[in-house]
Amino acid sequence: MKTSIQVNEQEIDNWLRWLSDYGRSEEGGVTRLLYDESWAEAQTALKDRMEQIGLSARFDGVGNLFGRLEGTESGNAILTGSHVDTVVNGGIYDGGFGIIASLLAVGYLFEKYGKPKKTIEVVSLCEEEGSRFPLAFWGSGSITGKYQKDESLLLFDSANISMSKALNNISFIPDSDNLLRKDIDCFIELHIEQGAVLEKEQKSIGLVSHIVGQRRFTIKVTGESNHAGTTPMPYRKDSLHIASQLIVHALDKASTINSLVATAGSITASPNVPNVIPNEVVFTLDVRHHDEEIIQQYCENIFNYFKEIGAQKGAAVEIDQWLDVKPVEMNKELTRIAEEVVKENELSYKTMTSGAGHDAQVFGTYCKTVLLFVPSVNGISHSPLEYTNKHDLKNGVTVLIELLHKLAY
Amino acid sequence: MKTSIQVNEQEIDNWLRWLSDYGRSEEGGVTRLLYDESWAEAQTALKDRMEQIGLSARFDGVGNLFGRLEGTESGNAILTGSHVDTVVNGGIYDGGFGIIASLLAVGYLFEKYGKPKKTIEVVSLCEEEGSRFPLAFWGSGSITGKYQKDESLLLFDSANISMSKALNNISFIPDSDNLLRKDIDCFIELHIEQGAVLEKEQKSIGLVSHIVGQRRFTIKVTGESNHAGTTPMPYRKDSLHIASQLIVHALDKASTINSLVATAGSITASPNVPNVIPNEVVFTLDVRHHDEEIIQQYCENIFNYFKEIGAQKGAAVEIDQWLDVKPVEMNKELTRIAEEVVKENELSYKTMTSGAGHDAQVFGTYCKTVLLFVPSVNGISHSPLEYTNKHDLKNGVTVLIELLHKLAY
């Protein structure tokens, strides 16, 4: 029996809360890790709901769930959705909102307008967060051929369970082993911002032009341990004094470059006692921008300064890069159409970059992709405190409905 | 039977190694903690050696060991010595050298010149380092009335043994319960520098004018945790960025003030992960100078800046002081006489402050006190690598002999 679809604030909230009951944590958050019980129950329940709204649902070989609404014309499918997995004790909106919004939108369109011209598929991607196994974007990566399934299945989680074993143990059986989808026209992802820019600037919708590139580094400064009392200032090779100077320089410099963000998130000093000059300080640096050339220039610039200061102070400065993710541009034409929809609905909006990673960045190098944001209250995410106002959720669903209508009908 | 005293490099080395066999660690260092077995064996062996060189030896009620050479004139005693306790796996020179040098000097003078006019006592102070119980300067503090014995005996070590029990368990019985000495004319301490100033400036002897005052602080910067990717630089309250700026300011400023030293020895950030802006950073600041007014001005100055930056960035900066030790001036007249001796022996020297604490600072507010340094190779101390060249040790003993000769004969 087909469910009748209401698109209003209360109904969106109901659907979100229904999904978040799968894996609900004591603190009010959600924990759904790839292939765990809550994850499998959520995917099974989503499959049922897809069928209730008239979609033809199936799992692929890694547990991605597709709900297909066949178009009247032949051709590739429009894919819309997000990821079903969460971080440990995460929020109910991250990923989940994109799936619920897509279900509501497609269900509403089907009910109101019948079959579309172009095929639409709602997708509940199996994994994005990288919270269980040492890989991320497992869902979108499998669909787009970025992962070799056989190799990845050999990975282990922290309880020493292999992905292969975890996949075999889930409570449903994939409908096919096929992963790679060559029949996708475009991917549409609606997601919470996970930042405070829309809220601070009082905008309803974020149109993402780029997902930023990221580089991460560990910087080790090696000076000399000495007695805090008996070593005059000019004789010191104080690794914390030097590291502090490097951090101030890197972050001050970042503040002068439009859209660039840099974060020294972690620092450790050794021996780390009050009356000994630290001989070694290790800190991390995370650098993000949507233009790789700007990242490159910034890093070259500050690392030259790092080396210079090290040489000046007689300390070793070692720089180790351990992450390099390229920026991805979203599809201009699709984003222009989304902008039209936003304007037609008289919603305020901002064209912006995404500083966080999303499945849209994996699809973005594979097919036409558009990424839309709704505001996050206080920018909080990956926490039970994650929240988006109901009218903002409603605006997001409205835009998605009308964008799909424009593209598929 | 009286031992015949040779004062040469080899003999000084022999005596030092003899003492350091009590508590020798596997790594080649020494561990003699207050009232432990090695400590008690060392004090007992030192008492025997005092008697062998003709001194009349006794323990006081906390285990300080005195070896007395009675003068021919009545009057207060000249006290010379240092502390017998060590840090865990410390060096053989820290404290031990002052005792051995005093024994050799007094033994040599007695053998060569007979009884002095003024009484001399060699002292092996029971405790200075604070390595076992949560107090330091227990030996000099007991002699000068700075400690209330009854209260201190209630303190516990990390194995939950009280000082009272530890004292009762030692293998010798104190000769008297008396602690406070009102019959001391002056205190002479010869010690290794534990810093690299004499070595770097190629001086043989350090004449200490002051022992520095110390203040220690814990500074807590509270900002806001946010996503490293989605939070633009102007929206951040990055506690590590702020803390780094405070550290750079404090240490740069310290470098502009003659003789002042400041150390940020310890730092912790929270949550301390690469992709989250730290909401809280805690670091320590250790500030030392021989003029309290300068410490006061420096601290006022930098803490005003700390508060200003905190207010500017919207972060809380809390400053908690947990140590305040006043500077102590050494006796000018005694130090002038020591300078005469150094000059007569054509030794290079430097008038300097001591950045580390010593028993001389406890005696310094109680009686005339002089503190003399010999160089430490690479400034290393509190380590098995602690080392002083044999000719520097010899120079130290020579100066001590002639200073005692001038004062007592």
A240-289: pLDDT as tens digits:
999 999 999 999 999 999 999 999 999 999 999 898 999 999 999 999 99
Residue A74 makes CB contacts below 8 A (sequence gap 6+) with: none
Strand stretches in B72-212, DSSP E: 77-83, 120-125, 184-192, 205-211
Contact B275 A259 (CB under 8 A): no
Residue holding tokens 């020579």? B398
Residue B77 makes CB contacts below 8 A (sequence gap 6+) with: B68, B71, B118, B119, B120, B121, B183, B184, B185
Residue B380 makes CB contacts below 8 A (sequence gap 6+) with: B91, B386, B387
Cα angle A20, A24, A27 (rounded to 5 degrees) comes to 125
- Residue A212 contacts B where some CB pair is shorter than 8 Å: yes
The half-sphere exposure of A178 on its side-chain side, counting CA atoms within 13 A, is 10
Q: Which CATH class is domain B9-211+328-408?
A: alpha beta
Interface test with B, best of A194, A208, A241, A350 (most B CBs within 10 A): A241
Does B318 have pLDDT greater than 90? yes
Mean pLDDT, residues B107-121 = 97
ipTM value greater than 0.85: yes
Instruction: Provide the pLDDT for residue A207.
Output: 98
Average predicted confidence (pLDDT) for chain A: 95
DSSP secondary structure of A148-194: -HHHHTT-B-TTS-BHHHHHHTSSS--S-S------EEEEEEEEE-S
Instruction: Provide the pLDDT for residue A1.
Output: 46
Mean pLDDT, residues A110-128 = 97
- Residue B235 contacts A where some CB pair is shorter than 8 Å: yes
Residue A290 makes CB contacts below 8 A (sequence gap 6+) with: A209, A210, A211, A212, A213, A259, A327, A329, A353
- Note which residues in 323-362 of chain A have CB less than 8 A from chain B: 354-357
Instruction: Provide the pLDDT for residue B79.
Output: 98
A187-245: pLDDT as tens digits:
999 999 999 999 999 999 999 999 999 999 999 999 998 899 999 999 999 999 999 99
- Residue A196 contacts B where some CB pair is shorter than 8 Å: yes
Contact B226 A196 (CB under 8 A): yes
Residue B72 makes CB contacts below 8 A (sequence gap 6+) with: B115, B116, B117
B357 or B178, higher pLDDT: B357
Mean pLDDT, residues B296-309 = 98
Does B121 have pLDDT greater than 80? yes
Q: From residue A299, how far is each of A249, A305, B160 by CA, in Å?
A: 12, 10, 53
Q: What is the CATH number of domain B213-325?
A: 3.30.70.360
- Residue B319 contacts A where some CB pair is shorter than 8 Å: no
Residues in chain B with CB shorter than 8 Å from the CB of A267 are: 240, 267, 269, 272, 281
Q: Where are the domains of chain A?
A: 9-211+327-408, 213-325
- CB B35, CB B168: distance < 8 Å: no
Residue B169 makes CB contacts below 8 A (sequence gap 6+) with: B35
Two tokens at B260?
A: 């002042």
Q: What is the CATH number of domain A9-211+327-408?
A: 3.40.630.10
Does B91 have pLDDT greater than 50? yes
Residues in chain B with CB shorter than 8 Å from the CB of A278 are: 264-266
B165-210: pLDDT as tens digits:
999 999 888 888 789 999 999 999 999 999 999 999 999 999 999 9
Instruction: Provide the pLDDT for residue B6.
Output: 86
Instruction: Provide the pLDDT for residue B3.
Output: 61
The sign one gets for the Cα dihedral A219, A223, A224, A228 is negative
Mean pLDDT, residues B278-304 = 97
A325-338: pLDDT as tens digits:
999 999 999 999 99
Instruction: Provide the pLDDT for residue B1.
Output: 46
Instruction: Provide the pLDDT for residue A149.
Output: 83
- CB A199, CB A188: distance < 8 Å: no
A216 is in an annotated binding site: yes
Does A3 have pLDDT greater than 80? no
Two tokens at B54?
A: 């003709």
Two tokens at A116?
A: 């579309």
B235-245: pLDDT as tens digits:
999 999 999 99
Confidence class of residue B260 from pLDDT cuts 50, 70 and 90?
very high
Two tokens at A78?
A: 């429009």
Residue spans of alpha helices (H) in A314-349: 332-344
Contact A261 B233 (CB under 8 A): yes
Instruction: Provide the pLDDT for residue A220.
Output: 98
Residue A367 makes CB contacts below 8 A (sequence gap 6+) with: A144, A184, A185, A186, A187
B191 is in an annotated binding site: yes
